[in-house]
Amino acid sequence: MKNLFLFIAVVVAFSVQAQDMKIHPVRVAKAVYYDVSPPLRDMPLIEPRQHEWSWNDDVIENPSIEREMVSEEVKARFDTVVDRVVQKNMGSRSARGPIRSFDGVKNVNGVYPPDTDGDVGPDHYFQMINLSFAIFDKQGNKLLGPSDNSTLWAGFPGPWTGTNDGDPVLLYDHLADRWIATQFAIYTSDGTFWELVAVSQTGDPLGNYYRYAFEFPDFNDYPKVSVWPDAYYATFNMFGENVNASVAAFEREKMINGDPDARMVYFDMPEAWSMMPADLDGPPPPAGTPGYFAFIDTWNTQSLDIYALQVDWDNPDNSTMTLTDVLPVDPFDPDVNNIPQPGTGTKLDPISDRLMNRLQYRNFGDHESMVVNHTVRVGNHAGIRWYEMRKDTGDWYLYQQSTYSPDETNRWMGSIAMNANGEIALGYSVSSSSLYPSVRYTGRSPDAPLGEMNYQEMELVAGTSSQSGINRWGDYSYMSVDPVDDTTFWYTQEYMSGGWKTRIGEFNFAPVLPPEIDAGNDTTYCQNALFVAHAAGMYVSSVLWTTSGDGRFVPDPPTSMLQGYIRGTEDIANGGFTLTVTAQGFLPGMTAVDSINVTLVRVPSCFAGYDTIICNNVSLMLAGTATDASSVLWTTDGDGTFDDPALLTATYTPGQGDVENGSVKLTLTAYPLPPCTDPDDDKVTITLVNCTGIEEHATAAVDLRIIPNPTGGAFTLMMEGVPDARLRVTLINQVGDVIMSDRIDNAKGQVTRDYRLSGLPGGIYFLKVNGDSFVKIEKMVLD
């Protein structure tokens, strides 16, 4: 152990001497490509799909990871290291609960790992992972996506066209109210390497984007990007002809204004692998403050090296990158075992050789702070070493440090941030041989003892399965602070539930509150559509829907705030159904229940009547029927006319073309009641024949009806408004033959007479009634 500390001391001494060294840029270049996208909401979304990654098979699976192959001799140096700053107990303050917790994008592209990333703005949460993105409102409702990340650069011409290579970064620039999305492009048509950067034109993430493409000399792996007043800073691990770290400053002012001449200042770095750029939350730093960067050499110096990049946009070649502070930290063991899971021999990669995303900066006025974390070994499991660095009037110094490992559960791949109150939140993955990969967080209050996470650990989402066959478990997660209140935390991370999924959580350190759930307003819905229940809630750990009817949920089990439901036959018979959602809170016994009543609107149905035959000189009173219709309309494929096509009993007068054709088709359309949208229609064929011996001279007031019609032979003749006392009733076939004759006396006013026919063939007949002053004819259909 003495030899180890002596070695560290020598390297630290060398690093202190190196602080006077200034590194100058090796490249200053404008964006090679630039354009303005259409509004994202109007762009055709590229459906998530598995992309061609065969280029990766025989090259390098992940250069930034595979490079860090450490010899057993080096690892042995740390066998006796004792972590003196381990926090071995949970915080003593009562548990603090999430406000919201909802799923983000899952593995829709068939890739490993997701590299979970996202940020929060005034009204939205924007998540971007390998290889898709989605945009949510802050209640967790999905507004767009998931869609291939390449959608953001669709129509942006260049050698990257058609690629979707990954390692995305998504940031919200609260100083300018802009969104920044980046992704490298390395599988290009001409073998070149690029960082694609999209900056929103406004604060609307669904709007237009200024799109830039900056070319790199080699494979720009593992990009990390940050917001700073004078630049968007980025770090990379470079692989190719030269293997080194690099730093870039992108000209922020021009990029947020859509200037196509935006430049990049690019530095080659010494062995500062996987360094982190300081990402600003809250008030800006003092005027003229350089961009800060942090690096830790886990296997050698075990010091936090702070670099300052002073970019000079007036003369970019004068920009400098300087090692300003070397902060020795308490010794730790970086040789972390792979992470076990239940029911599988696959163990997950802890990625313990580097700082984890992100290095967060905050200006409190009387001091500046930066927080960062990485994974270390504690006994036989993984814990999280975290640091707060401060700067008062002089240099940066290590204000507090600790390794969070309150039990033997593995905690790794953390992300840390501090809010305006000085509260710190630390989120991470957890797993063990008996615990599926899940997501948790903890935190500390400003008055806690230094190095202590004094809030009890909370679970954001519990995993339900293990990841088998593949040991990659992401490169980063992201803890951010809501810019609206500058105190609420948002965290996104992956977990396992039948494959990897991602989770987005909103929380603060107020006491746990019982769940609140709103199933939505009572509504009406069309019976032939999928009903989507849209619950909203706070402080909700999980939900479960039930129904009063016999329909089925889609998907099933119904455990989503946004839940589909297909009605059953019983629901239709009852005219609707009730859906009930039960929400569980973040502490045992905390539940809330709410229901939504859905009234079903039936789809319309209509019947135009039976096909029939009429004389070609006779108008036909139609006998359509319709149910559950808001209105009806008759139309013809001929040249006849309707007296009122909006009536079910409209009268149709054939036209000359109808007579010449010998038939005409009439269509009855029934239009739905809202919210149904699909009409129903039915057709009837009218055949026109030349009838003989039948003429009609009717008084308008005479009403003649045959009940029923069509008839099986027995029917009743009913007449009203008869002006004459004596009537003659005859039944005539289609060629004018009299089939039946009857005489009615004392008929004046109202007539009712029953008839029974037998032995006649089915078809069309005409019932003719003669009075002294009128003739009335009615068609009769004999079944």
For the chain, the distance separating the N- and C-terminal CA atoms, rounded to the nearest angstrom, is 108
Of 729, 730, 733, which is closest to residue 762 (Cα–Cα)?
733
| Dihedral sign from CA coordinates of 686, 689, 694, 699 | positive
Residues 6+ apart with CB under 8 A from 471: 338, 346, 347, 348, 349
Partnered with residue 731 across adjacent β-strands are 740, 767
Q: pLDDT at position 747, please?
A: 85
Per-block average pLDDT, block size 10, for the chain (783 residues)? 40 47 94 98 91 46 57 82 95 81 94 96 97 95 95 95 93 98 95 97 98 96 97 96 93 98 95 94 97 95 96 97 97 96 97 96 98 97 98 96 98 98 97 98 96 94 95 95 97 96 94 91 95 92 94 93 94 97 90 97 94 82 93 97 95 94 95 95 89 56 88 91 90 81 89 90 86 86 86
Residue 454, classed as helix, strand or coil, is coil
Question: What whole-number distance in Å separates Cα of residue 279 and Cα of residue 171?
Answer: 9
* pLDDT score, position 401: 98
Contact (Cβ atoms closer than 8 angstroms) between residue 665 and residue 687: no
Domains plus CATH for the chain?
Answer: 2-511 (2.130.10.10), 516-601 (2.60.40.10), 605-689 (2.60.40.10), 703-782 (2.60.40.3080)
Distance CA 651, CA 646 (A): 11
Q: What pLDDT, on a 0 to 100 scale, did the predictor assign at position 7? A: 38
Label the pairing between strands 612-615 and 680-689: parallel
pLDDT at residue 541 in the model? 85
Burial class (CB in 10 A: 0-12, 13-18, 19+), 77: middle
CA distance 89 to 730: 105
- Report the distance separating Cα 218 and Cα 165, nearest Å: 15
Distance CA 66, CA 243 (A): 13
State the CB neighbour count (10 A cutoff) for residue 532: 12
Return left, alpha or beta for 585; rule: phi > 0 is left, psi -120 to 50 is alpha, else beta: beta
Tokens of 238: 């470079």
- Concatenated DSSP letters of 169-194: EEEEETTTTEEEEEEEE-S-TTS-EE
What is the DSSP-derived secondary structure letter of residue 189? T
- pLDDT recorded at residue 19: 56
CA distances from 287 to 229, 230, 256 (A): 9, 10, 19
Residue 355's nearest CA partner among 425, 411, 276, 427 is 276
Any idea which residue has 């950067």 for tokens?
A: 197
Number of H helices, E strands in the chain: 6, 57
Neighbours of 718 (CB within 10 A): 14
Rounded to whole angstroms, how far apart are CA atoms 142 and 504?
A: 12
